[in-house]
Structure 1
Amino acid sequence: MILNRYERMIAKRYLLPGKGEGEKFIFLVSTISLGAVALGVAALIIVMSVMNGFRAELFEKTAGLNGHAIIVGYDGRLENWREIADQARKVPGVTSALPLVEQPLMASSNGRVEGVYFRGTRVEDIRSNAVLTGGVKSGSMANLTEGCNCVAIGTGLARALGTYPGGEISLISPEGRSTAIGTVPRIVSYTVAATFEIGVYDLDNAYVLAPMGEAQNFLMLGDAVGMVEVKVQEPDKIDEQMPALERIAAARGQATDWRKMNSAIFEALEVERVAMFVVLSLIILVAVFNILSSLIMLVRAKTRDIAILRTMGASRKGMMKVFVTVGTTIGTLGLLLGLALGAIFLFFRQPIVDAIQWLTGQNLWDPSVRFLSELPSKTDPVEVAVIVIIAFVLSFLSTLYPAWKAASTDPVQVLRYE
């Protein structure tokens, strides 16, 4: 929308505070409208970025340990896992197929007992896993070698058991040796070689990691494994690989993808994400009504000025452009301010959360409830563009009625009573 010189001058005058009390009040209302748009845009960007970050972080951590799909034997054993892994690697889109052993057990140390997930994987796979190697807090994953009689444990589990690298941990399996009086649980002590933190509360408080040979010996699996973990190039398109993986698993086990393994939490996140977008969009809508009300008051206050301009030759179209420009400018300035506020908050999100926790004395981000140890964030440019477009379009639409009223002003009727 192109304005000529006098239209720009008038729009500029109406945007700035006048000398009268009424004009100052209208300017105050316009400023509040600008701030409301900014808060609405910032809130939408912050919440959507945090929700996206939560999903991405949770997916990255869980997929880093569990893969995008798994092939599990019907009885919890895969004897011919090498053949299965080789066939899985040949499926288009599959990047890796790794053998795993995983079993829920009990662990004890220093008189304390905790439930754990005991996982065995090949030494080379441990060292190539960025989630594990990047989360080492003490000790070293290099100490995990076949025959070392050692394990790595999560930091939360280490605190719960009171043990650290160099200490001892005993694993207890109910599937032990048979005797005349029944089955005796199998108990084996291991040295803690390292502690790691994945960033997912449940995993950090339960995982015990061991070389494949150690796990197979403890669980008496021989050369068998529990499952084959599969990773693909595009996890969101895992449906393309699942039919082939199901054919490979046929008669020997079953194939499950990451969505079924974590269906409850990811579906809940998606529903909450959509609901939050709709609810927070109402903030922008409320702000737009503020712009509408401020423009209506401005039109009422400037009725005499509009009539004079009309008698001097100003067109209806020109008057519409002036008030559309005023309202759209308020909305655009609020939009830009909202983008800046959102970016600042997201950049300093963790210090802000820590400061609020310190001031209130409340734990706002309890990892045991929210799974992750820190507030995540991932901004989607497409979502930001949608938010910007929604805010701009609503701001523009809110200007049409006041602009039409201003353009419809009859100078004869107005000036007759002046």
Structure 2
Amino acid sequence: MTDATLAPATTKAMKPAGPFSAWEVGLALRYLRAKRKEGGIAMIAVISYVAIALAVMALIVVMSIMAGFRSTLLDRMLSFNGHMFVQGQLLNTPEREQALQRIRAVPGVQSAVPVMTSYSLVRTAGQTNPAAVRGIRPEDLPATTYVYASIGDDAKRKFGQGLNGGDDILIGEGLAASMGLRVGDSVTLFSPTGATSAFGNLGGLDKAYRVGGIFTSGTAEFDGLFIFMPLEQSQIFFGRDAAWDAIELKLDEPDRVEQMLTPVVQAAGPGALVDDWRNRMAAFWGALKVERVAMSIILGLVVAIAALNIISGIVMLVKNKTRDIAILRTIGASQSSMLRVFFMAGAMIGVAGTITGLTLGLLFCLNIGSVQHFLEWIFQTKLFDADVYMLDAIPALVDPMDVVWVTLWSLFMSCVAGLIPSWQAAKLDPVEALRYE
């Protein structure tokens, strides 16, 4: 009865351990802590861990800074130019005002403003520069966010005041600096078409305007070229009657511009042509995407190279533990158990390095302003000149998809690097391994 009672318990106790059991995990951890006299495996593991952590951190930081620059640059350029544009025969018909109201009522449309753009020469004190004059209604000026925020209250109040919109204009900071202009100065604009009269077109026309304000859009190209003029005044000065060149739209979500095309076309009605910023900035947008993909591939290779350090460490570990492998195989350990032990040893290095790199990278990005100021204090120099880049600090935007991609790629390369030498350990013949022991 005693034997019958003990037999089931003995059988249960002798049941083989499953994959990734406690003894396999414990053995993998013990091998990673191998002593210096056993080949310095621990030192190689530390070096591999640090290399992976630094590579992952660099990938997170660089991709986040690139995303930050991309987002900030697009935000400023799109704030100046708009996200969608309605043009066509509709703008020359009396129904354009009704169409404008319908477009403004479309869900997702932040603002819709009529604009007119003409080209002119700007003269002052014997100096002449080309300029693009954008006509806009005074009440619509706040839609151009960065321009409106950069001018003073007096300029906001006086813009559009006076007969036919008045004579106050807003001039870009770059253009004003190149011509030595300040607020209150007089500047002469030349219209190649001129105003119209009862006798027809008068040809070229000069007119003096007052610099009511100097704006900064955050993009040097625009600041060095554009002038804002009340729409009514620009229509008269350039002899365009009551023309609109386009209705410029700003959306709540610029990335959803494709989904907004159909409702905007329907709201605009017949005779309208709808375009968006992706077509107008196709070259710029394409360059950004190519740069992003190229940088991701290059930095991904850096992570792969860092992970390859694991191979050398596990190869040395397998070589030093050949006798242990043979003994374990002799007393019943399977080939798959040996493969898992050394695979986990390599994977642990990769997982630890990945987690550390992600943590450091995210902390760096979230505190990039403080890091920048600290480095500037250490080196006593400006690392990011606001006068050059039009930004107060280095922008960093952490994209969750980038974090997921970096994590999966680092873990994948770590597992691949650990699997290669682990496979050799699993195929080791215990008889041959113990022959010369």
TM-score bracket, shorter-length normalisation: 0.7 to 0.9
The code of the aligned residue for 1:238 comes to V
Shift of 1:336: 2.1
CA distance in 1, matches of 2:358, 2:303: 13
Q: Is the 8 A contact 1:139 1:195 kept in 2?
A: no
User: Equivalent residue for 1:19?
Assistant: 36
User: Equivalent residue for 2:123?
Assistant: 108
User: Equivalent residue for 2:98?
Assistant: 83
**Aligned partner of 1:172 among 185, 190, 195:** 190
Shift of 1:175: 1.5
**Aligned partner of 1:150 among 146, 156, 168:** 168
Residue deviations 1:75-124 (CA, integer Å, cap 9, x gap): 99676531331343355654432111222222233443322221122222
User: Equivalent residue for 1:307?
Assistant: 326
Shift of 1:3: 5.0
Shift of 1:17: 5.3
CA distance in 2, matches of 1:10, 1:157: 71
Residue deviations 1:27-50 (CA, integer Å, cap 9, x gap): 443333323323332333233323
Tell me how many residue pairs correspond in the alignment: 413
Q: 1:159 to 1:405 in 2, by over 3 A?
A: same
**Aligned partner of 1:348 among 368, 387, 399:** 368
Shift of 1:192: 2.2
Residue deviations 1:171-227 (CA, integer Å, cap 9, x gap): 2221225899x9653222222232222222211222212333333332233433222
CA distance in 1, matches of 2:292, 2:423: 38
**Aligned partner of 1:62 among 77, 101, 106:** 77
CA distance in 1, matches of 2:375, 2:191: 45
Q: Is the 8 A contact 1:365 1:375 kept in 2?
A: no
CA distance in 2, matches of 1:134, 1:160: 22
Determine whether 1:416 maps to 2:435: yes
**Aligned partner of 1:197 among 193, 216, 221:** 216
The code of the aligned residue for 2:36 comes to K
CA distance in 2, matches of 1:174, 1:374: 42
**Aligned partner of 1:214 among 233, 247, 260:** 233
Shift of 1:265: 0.5
Percent same amino acid at aligned positions?
32
**Aligned partner of 2:413 among 374, 386, 394:** 394
CA distance in 1, matches of 2:272, 2:128: 33
Q: 1:305 to 1:274 in 2, by over 3 A?
A: same
CA distance in 1, matches of 2:128, 2:202: 21
Shift of 1:135: 3.5
Shift of 1:371: 9.4
Residue deviations 1:226-274 (CA, integer Å, cap 9, x gap): 2211233443343344356557778856332111111110012112222
Higher Cα Rg, which structure = 2
Q: Is the 8 A contact 1:151 1:194 kept in 2?
A: yes
Q: 1:245 to 1:99 in 2, by over 3 A?
A: same
Residue deviations 1:329-350 (CA, integer Å, cap 9, x gap): 1111221232234335534379
Q: 1:47 to 1:85 in 2, by over 3 A?
A: same
Q: Is the 8 A contact 1:16 1:27 kept in 2?
A: yes
The answer to which of 60-69 and 316-325 deviates more is 316-325
User: Equivalent residue for 1:331?
Assistant: 350
Structure 1: where are the runs of 5+ without partners? Answer: none
Q: 1:202 to 1:9 in 2, by over 3 A?
A: same
Q: Is the 8 A contact 2:369 2:393 kept in 1?
A: no
Q: 1:241 to 1:309 in 2, by over 3 A?
A: closer
Q: 1:311 to 1:72 in 2, by over 3 A?
A: same
Shift of 1:295: 0.9
CA distance in 2, matches of 1:352, 1:373: 11
The code of the aligned residue for 1:205 comes to G
Determine whether 1:321 maps to 2:337: no
CA distance in 1, matches of 2:192, 2:66: 41
**Aligned partner of 2:181 among 160, 163, 169:** 163
The code of the aligned residue for 2:35 comes to G
Shift of 1:352: 5.0
User: What's the secondary structure of 2:119's corresponding residue?
Assistant: strand
Q: TM-score, normalised by structure 2?
A: 0.80
Aligned-residue RMSD, C-alpha: 3.8
Q: How does 1:110-125 map to 2 (within 5 A)?
A: 110-125=125-140
Q: Is the 8 A contact 2:372 2:383 kept in 1?
A: no
Shift of 1:11: 2.4
Q: Is the 8 A contact 1:145 1:211 kept in 2?
A: yes
The code of the aligned residue for 1:14 comes to Y
**Aligned partner of 2:60 among 42, 45, 48:** 45
